[in-house]
Amino acid sequence: MASGTPATTALTRLGLAFELHSYDHDPAAASYGLEAAAALSVPPGQVFKTLLVVGDSGLAVGVVPVDRQLDLKAVASALGLKKVAMAQPGDAERSTGYVVGGISPIGQKRALPTVVDSSALELERVYVSGGRRGLDISLAPTDLVAVTRATVASIAR
């Protein structure tokens, strides 16, 4: 369970330091992100969820703390768009190669424009999905930004 996702493969290939954290996922959990934070005993503001949005130029990714919401106007602005909407789960899964609740911002099938919330840079380590439910990766936020080629902006509310 602890290896072999596209996210871990990408990080290993690039020589970036990361740690894997697995936990027993409860399919009935109301919030996968808050479940991960509780299971890993990590503050929710340090665990980030990966959300896909769609705008005039197609799909894009927003990465925000699990205890906050994605500000659609702010992410649209960061992407240079007038507006975006949340992507349909099926579209997100097809584009990324991951299942909802396990979508990692790292190692997606297709590289998408990505925006990471600026709060990540205030932390020593951030946690993101490792590519499946019940698996998170912790890494330096600067490495997350580098590996996803992300823009950093205030996109959480």
**Higher per-residue pLDDT: 33 or 64:** 64
Answer whether residue 34 is part of any domain. yes
Number of domains in the chain: 1
DSSP β-ladder status, 114-117 and 126-132: unpaired
**Alpha helix locations (H) across 52-124?**
72-79, 89-96
Answer whether residue 99 is part of any domain. yes
Answer whether residue 1 is part of any domain. no
Q: Are 61 and 148 spatial neighbours (Cβ–Cβ below 8 Å)? A: yes
Residue 138 burial by Cβ neighbours in a 10 Å radius (0-12, 13-18, 19+) = buried
Single pTM value for the model: 0.94
The pLDDT of residue 150 is 97
What is the CATH number for 104?
A: 3.90.960.10
Range of the structural domain that residue 139 is part of = 6-153
Answer whether residue 114 is part of any domain. yes
The pLDDT of residue 2 is 46
